[in-house]
Amino acid sequence: MGKKIVVRIMVLLFLSAMMLTVSCAKKSVATDPSTGIENQGAQDGLSAEEIARQKALEEERLREEALRKAIAAEREQFENQDIYFDFDSAELVPDARMLLKEKADFLTRNSGLTVTIEGHCDERGTTEYNLALGERRAMSAKRYLQDLGIAEFRLNTISYGEERPAVQGNDESAWSRNRRGHFVIR
């Protein structure tokens, strides 16, 4: 879990760094107001038309880059935002339903994706019972997504019971974060 987050942060940092580099390059070539585009073009022997085309291409590339970034962020949000449950319950609370609607939207827009829904429990109670409870939590989320129009074949479930807590600790603040449904894009 911790490792995953670290990797994600590194990827984000890398992407931001890339963006910065790209904008710097762009400034020096195309939008430096002191030099002016016309002059530069004349100096390099490029026609104004070619410069405009280059500029358009560059903008398109940036737009795509931004879109990719947005999709990646959305994907990350989809995977990182867990839904939470009450003790010994697999019922979807209002907050969970709201999040699941967002997830259903995402899955509708990204129809090629399939998802594994992981059901998790807090450490209280017995390991065996929690395996069953975790599965029911995952199934609740799955059924709700199906009701929102997501095809069943795109939704897998697995229960980890209390075996993979998100946070360590034996108080309600830890327990409440461990009673969760977690989503992994496959």
Partner 1 sequence: MILMTQNSGVKLMAAFNSCKFFLLCGVLLVMEFSPAFVMAQHAYININSPLIRKIPVAIPFFKAFTGHEEEVALGKNAVDIMSSALDFTGYLAVMDRGAFIENPSQKGITGSEINYKNWTIIGSELLITGGIVEQDGAVRLELRLFDPFKETLLIGKVYTGHKADIKSMIYRFCAEISLLLTGKLGVFGSRIAFVSTVSGNKEIFTCDFDGGNISRITNFNNITMSPSWSSDGNFLAFTSYAKGNPDLYIRDLRANKDVVVSKKGLNITPAWLPGQFALAATLSFSGDQDIYLLTGSGEVKRQLTKEMGIDISPAFSPDGTKFAFVSKRSGTPQIYIGDTGSGSASRLTFKGSYNTSPAWSPDGDKIAYVGVVKNSINIYVIGANGGEPTQLTSGQGDNEDPSWSPDGNLIAFSSTRQGASRIFVMTSTGSDQRLLFTFGGAQTDPTWSLAYGNK
**Positions in the binding site for partner 1 (CB under 8 A):** 88, 124-129, 131-133, 135-136, 139, 157-160, 163
How many degrees, rounded to 5, is the angle at CA 109 between CA 112 and CA 100? 100
Determine contact, residues 143/92, Cβ cutoff 8 Å.
no
CB of 108 to partner 1, least distance (A): 24
> From the CB of 77, what's the least distance to partner 1, in Å?
25
Alpha-carbon distances, residue 110 vs 66, 74, 75 (angstroms): 17, 11, 10
CA angle 19, 114, 150 (to 5 degrees): 110
Read off the DSSP letter of residue 31. Answer: I
**Shortest Å distance, C-beta 129 to partner 1:** 5
Q: Which is nearer to partner 1, 72 or 139 (CB)?
A: 139
> What is the SS3 string spanning 123-166?
CCCCHHHHHHHHHHHHHHHHHHHHHCCCCHHHEEEEEEECCCCC
The DSSP 8-state label assigned to residue 91 in this structure reads P
Judged by beta carbon, residue 14 or residue 129, the one nearer partner 1 is 129
Nearer to partner 1, 26 or 143 (CB): 143
Question: Alpha-carbon distance 163 to 121, whole Å?
Answer: 8
**Smallest gap from residue 146 Cβ to partner 1 (A):** 12
For residue 23, the minimal CB distance to partner 1 (Å) is 43
Question: What are the counts of helices (DSSP H) followed by strands (DSSP E) for the chain?
Answer: 6, 4
- Nearer to partner 1 by Cβ, of 32 and 86: the residue is 86
Least distance from C-beta 164 to partner 1, angstroms? 8
Closer CB to partner 1, 99 or 145, in the complex: 145
Closest to partner 1 by CB, 77 vs 127, is 127
